[in-house]
């Protein structure tokens, strides 16, 4: 079975909570945070 990296766009308006989510996610070998956004509008811009 091949390993696939899951790419994540982390969206959370609270910076401290976003940090709290980022730290454990970064420790997972098969996850990659490719970008972060503080609101939905910014997230949509990043996806496009």
Q: Are 38 and 12 in contact (CB under 8 A)?
A: yes
| pLDDT higher than threshold 90 for residue 1 | no
The pair of structure tokens assigned to 38 is 């503080």
Q: Which of 17, 44, 4 is nearest to 35 (CA)?
A: 44
Structural tokens at position 20:
């709290």
Query: Over the stretch 4-41, which tens digit does the pLDDT of each residue have?
Result: 999 999 999 999 999 999 999 999 999 999 999 999 99
Domain ranges of the chain: 6-47
pLDDT score of 25: 97
Q: What share of the chain is helix, strand, coil (3-state, %, to 5)?
A: 40, 25, 30
Q: Strands (DSSP E) along 1-48, which ranges?
A: 6-11, 31-37
């Amino acid at each position: 079975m091949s390993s696939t990296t899951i790419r994540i766009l982390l969206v959370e308006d609270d910076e401290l909570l976003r940090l709290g989510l980022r730290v454990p996610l970064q420790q997972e070998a098969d996850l990659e945070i490719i970008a972060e956004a503080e609101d939905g509008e910014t997230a949509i811009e990043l996806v496009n």
